[in-house]
Amino acid sequence: MAESIKNESQESTRTLNFVEQIVADDLKEGKNGGRLNTRFPPEPNGYLHIGHAKAICMDFGIAEKFGGTCNLRFDDTNPVKEDVEYVDSIKEDIHWLGFDWGNREYYASDYFPQLYDLALRLIKEGKAYVDDQTSEEIAAQKGTPTQPGVESPYRNRSVDENLDLFQRMNAGEFEEGARVLRAKIDMTSDNMHFRDPIMYRIIKHPHHRTGTAWNVYPMYDFAHGQSDYFEGVTHSICTLEFVPHRPLYDYFVDELADETYRPRQIEFNRLNLTYTVMSKRKLLQLVKEGLVQGWDDPRMPTISGMRRRGYTPASIRNFIDLIGYTKYEALNSISLLEHAVRDDLNKVATRGMAVINPVKVVITNYPEGQEEVLEMENNPEDPTSGTHQMPFSREIYIEREDFMENPPKKFFRLAPGGEVRLKGGYIIKCTDAVKDSDGNIVEINCTYDPETRSGMPGSMRKVKGTLHWVSAKHAVDATVRLYDRLFNVENPAAEPDCDFREMLNPDSLKIVTGVKLEPFLAQNAVSGTHFQFQRIGYFTPDYDSTPDNIVFNRTISLKDSWEKAKNK
Ligand code: ATP
Ligand code: MG
């Protein structure tokens, strides 16, 4: 009995994470009229990364789960760093992940008039003042968590003077940095965010939506909670670094809310991934300095990079499900993400054959000029996926690594006198290898056993090794980009003494030309599709690819061959 109760409670805690539990309780209590409205609030100052995907899955996912809505709100309060290019990319990435905000596309800048009015009201009520000090002076007076701060000499200005100065700040009469508007709260508060936080600063850079209409811009803490309130957001879910901001969030919301409705902030742990960085500032630096080829470089932890790399939305969402939401910071292994990618691609990727490092094999007893067509399964994991045809002829390519002249004992691939099966085709036996004057193998001679093709009496004959191959005459040349981890340090963010750029993996991209594709792969090399190159890994055609210059990105190696390659 005790056992069954325990199982039941484990079951219920597994089905709802702690944020969902809070939402479920609020809905049950009928808070906010029983409404659920979340928001995803990106700042359009960069492309979204996998960390944002975690927030997106939470914000949109919880709304879907409980029949609520989720707003997309651009947190565009700093015109210096923001741009429409980022707005567009963010929308594309959210849609690609499979979420939709309907007609609820909002901008913090939509609320600039209301925020300005609130600031005027707080000034009139003696709750805000204009400070003429520099940001350095203000920072120096802030104190420390154990030492109280010092009050600004401008703290007790009259309401009239504050009103006049703030309006003139917005009229453009003062230079950037000359003055700020601060909330008059408590310079001795235990919470540093209550020590007269800055509400507005002067910025004279045009805004991507409001142009030059404003010369003062609200700080995050003065914009976020109120924007939530203006929009009717009920649950403002964010990451743990905002825990100490929450009292200030509530403080400003108190100026607006009544007992019928108020938004609340809930925090969960950020996604951090090994062998990469998640800071937008650092990602921007990689892009600007040309250390990667753009925000969507397939080595980047960005959603657009992962899309170009061939990751699927399902694999990213499954990964985020796997790691879950907690209240403790953690570092998640990139291997887990890669596992989720393999798991999904195994189900959806079409199988084909490509030889990355080709060596020619001549089947000496196969009649010259003869060819035949073999039927290949498109995906053994998907019974509805059908088959495609693959030509076979006297000369084929196999991987150079699949032949050894003097093999060790457990080498089950091709060697003189040995037999292997050509995947989906005949068993061949190596007779000898042809070398150039330097001793390099240029060609391998084999004979085939005509009885071993599928459907023939000898097709059940067992040999230890099976190789992928491509008919030489029919092969189409392609370029393949092999990607590896962007950094060679597990947690670059944890090495403050080292410039993160010095930790970049110099071998994160290898370009291989002269790869031999079976015709089916060449004909279907359309960007956005997923293939498994048999025995090698998962690949996706790059958007650069053209019929005359086919380019595939390696999404990820097959686990086994990766391990094997590493152990060699
Ligand atoms: P910045 O440091 O430039 O503000 P940011 O990563 O916080 O960058 P935002 O555009 O402000 O970027 O983030 C939008 C939302 O995504 C926020 O709610 C933020 O909490 C969430 N978010 C950002 N990074 C992560 C992460 N690594 N894991 C989970 N959520 C994240
Ligand atoms: Mg942020």
Mean pLDDT of 133-139: 96
Mean pLDDT of 456-474: 93
Q: Which of 157, 280, 394, 554 is catalytic?
A: 280
Ligand 1 centroid from CA 204, angstroms: 26
Taking the C-alpha atoms of residue 372 and residue 94, their distance in angstroms, rounded to an integer, is 47
Under 8 Å between Cβ of 109 and 41: no
Burial (Cβ within 10 Å: 0-12, 13-18, ≥19) of residue 274: middle
The tens digit of pLDDT for each residue in 338-353 reads 999 999 999 999 999 9
Q: 372: helix, coil or strand?
A: strand
pLDDT of residue 298: 98
The H or E element spanning position 553 is strand 550-557
Is the per-residue pLDDT at 145 higher than 80?
yes
pLDDT of residue 3: 40
DSSP state of 293: S
The residue among 296, 269, 133 whose CA lies nearest residue 201 is 133
Which two structure tokens, joined as six digits, stand for 344?
């999904």
Under 8 Å between Cβ of 338 and 563: no
Ligand 1 centroid from CA 51, angstroms: 7
Which two structure tokens, joined as six digits, stand for 550?
């086919």
Does 239 sit in the ligand 1 pocket, CB within 6 Å? yes
Q: Which atom of ligand 1 is nearest to the CA of 42?
A: 10
Mean pLDDT of 17-36: 97
Q: Does 270 participate in catalysis according to the annotation?
A: yes
Which one of 86, 239, 278, 295 would you pick to mutate in the ligand 1 pocket, going by the greatest count of ligand atoms within 8 A of its CB? 239
Query: Rounded to whole angstroms, what are the CA distances from 541 to 35, 376, 555?
Result: 44, 20, 10
- pLDDT-based confidence at 107, cuts 50/70/90? very high
Mean pLDDT of 162-190: 98
The sheet carrying 69-74 orders its strands as 37-40, 69-74, 105-107
pLDDT of residue 337: 96
| Rg value, the chain, Cα | 31
Single pTM value for the model = 0.93
Is the per-residue pLDDT at 2 higher than 60?
no
Mean pLDDT of 288-301: 98
pLDDT of residue 568: 44
pLDDT of residue 14: 58
Ligand 2 centroid from CA 220, angstroms: 8
- pLDDT-based confidence at 305, cuts 50/70/90? very high
Ligand 1 centroid from CA 42, angstroms: 7
Q: Does 14 participate in catalysis according to the annotation?
A: no
pLDDT of residue 486: 96
Does 299 sit in the ligand 1 pocket, CB within 6 Å? no
Amino acid letter for position 197: P
Give me the chain's average pLDDT, please: 94
The tens digit of pLDDT for each residue in 177-198 reads 999 999 999 999 999 999 999 9
pLDDT of residue 202: 98
The tens digit of pLDDT for each residue in 485-518 reads 999 999 999 988 899 999 999 999 999 999 999 9
CB hemisphere CA count around 64 (13 angstroms): 11
Taking the C-alpha atoms of residue 50 and residue 38, their distance in angstroms, rounded to an integer, is 20
